Amino acid sequence: MNFANILIVALSFFYRFLEFMIFVRVILSWLPFGRDNFIVKIVYEITEPILGPIRRLINKSPIGGGILDFSPIIAFFFLYYIFIFLEEAIIYFS
């Protein structure tokens, strides 16, 4: 296994971890846990740097600020395309 493959596997693991954490945050938003819960704090600390800027952009748009929060869906697409771009760049330059 060469360095490019190791890098792709690590990138894939990081992508799946972020994807899972965003999914957990969505599920936690439906459950009656307070933000003072230790696990909820960890999930919010990991996902807020991704979801916060997206949420701010959505709220500034003419269609934003509604009842539903679409930032996790946009984050899934955004992370996916970044992952694919980085994976292809690693393959191309190796």
Q: What is the tens place of the pLDDT at every residue in 51-65?
A: 999 999 888 766 656
* CA pair distance 46, 93, nearest whole angstrom: 30
Categorize the per-residue pLDDT at 34 as very low, low, confident or very high, splitting at 50, 70 and 90: confident
Residue 83 pLDDT > 90, yes or no?
Answer: yes
Contacts of residue 67, defined as CB under 8 A and 6 or more positions apart, other chains included, come to: none
Share the mean pLDDT of the chain. 91
Domain extent listing, the chain: 3-93
| The predicted structure's pLDDT at residue 1 | 76
* pLDDT tens digits, one per residue of 3-25: 999 999 999 999 999 999 999 99
